[in-house]
Structure 1
Amino acid sequence: MFCVKNARLHPRTIWHFTSYGVLPIRCYRRPGVPPDNTPPWKKIDFNFSKGVQGIKKHFGLLKKEMFERFEGPQGRPMREIMLEQTRVVWEFRNQESLEQWVVSSDEEMGGKSKIYLRLSRNNQTALLYGNMCTEVPKDGETRYSGYCTLRSKQLLGAFNVKTHHDWSNFNTLYLRIRGDGRPWMMNIATETYFQHQKNDMYNYFLYTRGGPYWQDVKIPFSKFFLTSRGRIQDDQHPLWLDKINTLGFTLGDKADGPFHLEIDCIGVCNDRAHTEEFAYEKYKKNP
């Protein structure tokens, strides 16, 4: 197996062309950092108590999943699922809700941007804040810098089997936010079938108006367009709503300075007034 993590940052370190094909060399490594040659078996934490706790946890999840199948999808009655018009997917009311998310910035590749996530003063909303810095690291390799992201974690079932969000009964993403006027990019990652599609993502824009008032934002799923490694693809197709892996926010407006985004909740809804299936032309090759 080979790793292509952060391949867009330094693609020359990923592939080597030979007469036998394309061979993987190594992953992206921050310039100036020595390679980690530690054997994989030394990185394993052999802990008996943690192993017992893990067995109890995963067998408990397996039991829950088995009984939920008798009740209906996601452990809910079929009638309730069919009549459902709205669903709150994420609420931020305690510290556990924040643990479902991951923050990252260009600091991982030597940049100076900072991003943090915490509960607000009343412990009823999530506050995403930090400082954007577009200064390029002086390593002789990195050419661009200045981004901050917030991304939900992948859902995992019993024994860490990957599971997905099923939003096929809905057509609109709903957010209740309060920002500072900066534009954000919404990112939705879906399950892919082939290895070369692992960088595919669906994006759309989120504009905040600033000020003390909350915004109720509705973004139809038909507006999301397909990108790969940050580039919009010519061959577009609608978002697959039955296998949603993660949802994220990205800030990269190249404006240095502090930023903040307060999030009350994130959900999905079925807007009967919206009948559009896909907002973009789907070109056919050699029609």
Structure 2
Amino acid sequence: MRHLRTNAVILLITLFSLSTGIAAESSQKTLFDFTGESAESKWLSVNDTVMGGISEGRARVSEDNTLVFSGNLSLENQGGFASIRSKPTDLNLEAYEAFALRVRGDGRPYYFDIRPSSRNSATSYRATLKTQKDTWKEVRFPIDSFEYTTFGRRVSGVAPPKAGDIQSVGFTLSDKKAGPFRLEVASIRAIKTDAAAKNDKDIVETAVAAGQFETLVAALKAAGLVETLKGDGPFTVFAPTDKAFAKLPKGTVDELLKEENRDKLTAILTYHVLPSKILLASQDSETIQGQTLAIKTSGSFTVNNAKVITPDIPASNGVIHVIDSVLLPATGKKTPRQDAKSVIELAISRGVPVFNAGQFSACAAIYEVTVESLLKSNENGLREAERETLRNALRETREEESPREKAWILRRALDSVYRSLNAD
């Protein structure tokens, strides 16, 4: 076990810059990231109102960082469809052969649409997306299985689209059933087929194949540790990105690399390694370090508080998941700042489902009570700049009439303070 822990340390030290490299070499590519204030602006609504109908459908980003396509389908005035689509852009899909979607629906059948640059707005290639009510599922669509349609009607004799020509994806509902609808999308990825995606490289070789990892090779050779990590495994590695490590205070990594801090470094980094192959599913998993990681799949994949940027990168002796934050194991009694983090986590876990249910005032009330609680009861937990962020948010909500915007103002403030606390 000692050798395994040391190997995990060496591996993860040199995985600091794996994010871009592995993604380029991997069998999949994330097409849309439903985070940030600009995420919603990348999507357009096209409903039967363009033909005189009165159906309503729109795209919005939830607090869980998922895309929600919802509205009301009407059959009046010869109508009967609602749709959303991404704004055209070069998706660079030449090397990919299929799409993988993680969705939760309402039991109604939707269409997943793709549009090459040469097609007008009334035409698309589509595949049927069947959903189960309130159930998350992953579905895959080979690009050569899409059928050409114009004004919603299939047209035979048209060749499948070329992957490199695809510039837009979208969703359509036209099942001839009037009433409200809701489709939630956690991820849209381009993938290679199983045959093309098969990886005969082990975890170390997969990391090295990303390129420019001379430090990794040198460290493993110098320590004589190559053969251990090239063993049968299986292992699972949660690999933080460069940006994830940049969130740590300046000099932290240099300090951890010193010989006298090796035990601390081992505790942190082996917290990112599981002694088994775990493809992401809702579960808790014990790490080599000994503590447990909480893996959440209701919406976007998360591990503890880190978002999984690229899941399930295969290796012959395990799997790699790229994450956006460093995972820090518990170290005993909580400090005041850790208590403040827990308060924010609890508030967001309570507020998100309320907000997503459309109860914006209730969500704003939860966040407001949390902000006031942090200001009153965490005198030693928050820095002055963090406290000022919360005060400013409270002042801003006093002049805001929209309950939805009040909730967002407070949520953004809580997120900002949380990031600051997480950087400790």
The question of a shared fold, defined as TM-score above 0.5 by the shorter chain, is answered with: yes
What is residue 208 of structure 1 aligned with on the other side? 131
| Pair 1:176-2:105 in alignment | no
Please list every run of 5 or more consecutive structure 1 residues that lacks an aligned counterpart in the other structure.
Answer: 1-75, 137-143, 156-163, 276-287
More helix by share: 2
What amino acid maps onto 2:84 in structure 1? Answer: L
What is residue 112 of structure 1 aligned with on the other side? 54
Contact 1:185 1:205 in 2 (8 A): yes
Give aligned pairs, total. Answer: 177
1:1-287 correspondence runs (5 A): 81=24, 83-120=25-62, 122-136=63-77, 144-155=78-89, 164-192=90-118, 198=120, 200-211=123-134, 213-273=135-195
CA positional deviation for 1:246: 1.1
Please list every run of 5 or more consecutive structure 2 residues that lacks an aligned counterpart in the other structure.
Answer: 1-19, 198-424
Contact 2:23 2:29 in 1 (8 A): no
What is residue 9 of structure 1 aligned with on the other side? none
What amino acid maps onto 2:73 in structure 1? Answer: M
Aligned equivalents of 1:267, 1:80: Cα separation in 2: 12
Cα deviations across residues 168-220 of structure 1 (Å, max 9, x unaligned)?
A: 2111101111100111112111122xxxx645421111111112x31111111
Q: Give the SS at the match of 1:222.
A: helix
Cα deviations across residues 61-102 of structure 1 (Å, max 9, x unaligned)?
A: xxxxxxxxxxxxxxx87x974x33110001212331111000
Q: Percent identity?
A: 29
CA positional deviation for 1:118: 2.0
More strand by share: 1
Contact 2:28 2:189 in 1 (8 A): yes
Aligned equivalents of 1:238, 1:165: Cα separation in 2: 17
Change (3 A) 1:200 1:126: closer
Relative CO higher for 1 or 2, CA cutoff 8 Å, sep ≥ 6? 1
Aligned equivalents of 1:190, 1:248: Cα separation in 2: 12
Q: Give the SS at the match of 1:90.
A: coil
- After TM superposition, the structure 1 stretch with the greater mean CA deviation from structure 2, 101-110 or 217-226, is 101-110
Q: Alignment RMSD, CA only?
A: 2.3
Change (3 A) 1:112 1:186: same
Change (3 A) 1:86 1:183: same
Cα deviations across residues 257-277 of structure 1 (Å, max 9, x unaligned)?
A: 1100111111111122489xx
CA positional deviation for 1:112: 1.9
Q: Give the SS at the match of 1:99.
A: helix
Contact 2:73 2:80 in 1 (8 A): yes
Q: Give the SS at the match of 1:248.
A: strand
What amino acid maps onto 1:129 in structure 2? Answer: S
